[in-house]
Amino acid sequence: MLENLKIALTEAIEDEYKARATYRLILNKFGAIRPFVNIVESEERHIQALMPLFSKYGIALPEDNWVQRVEVPASVQEACQAGVQAEIKNAQMYQRLLDLTQGYPDVQRVFLNLQSASQNNHLPAFQRGAERRLSSPFPVILGGGHNLIGEEEDTDRGEVVDTKEGGKLTKTRIVTGL
């Protein structure tokens, strides 16, 4: 039973690492664009929600080496479409992992919360982003009170700032008001 838990937790955190790395690289390539600015921070919270479970059950936390392993899509449109597919797969993964973690209600609660965020928040945001970009040749960039397709923005132009500890990327945040 503990082996199934190890498999499930490892697959979950690897998927969250991959998403965070992908979205960070997209932000580095295209700038502070929606929905990536919000979702990259959410992926960080997902990782933080999973980490204590490794400690609680004495399972080694896998190292995050996804920055070197992911490719950045060629356009923002492709990035949003890839985000849609990734979130669909993420929700399916958590459904499968729930079966592996029967008998661990704390793990299942975290998995259900992460699955819900994926389906109810991230997926619709990427779908909206993909639809907007199909109807407009301009990216939705944070800045100046309005984005380039005329919708009001609730934030100023932002800059992607990465924090490194011991030479490793540990956090991505958006600094606004520049």
Q: Is the CATH number 3.10.105.10 carried by domain 2-176?
A: no
68 Cβ neighbours under 8 A, 6+ residues apart: none
Is 0.85 topped by the overall pTM? Answer: no
Answer yes or no: is pLDDT of 171 > 60. no
Q: Over the stretch 23-37, which tens digit does the pLDDT of each residue have?
A: 999 999 999 998 999
Q: Where are the domains of the chain?
A: 2-176
Q: Three-state SS string across 71-103, please?
A: CCCCCHHHHHHHHHHHHHHHHHHHHHHHHHCCC
Q: What was the pLDDT predicted at 91?
A: 94
Tokens of 170: 């540990």
The overall average pLDDT reported for the chain is 83
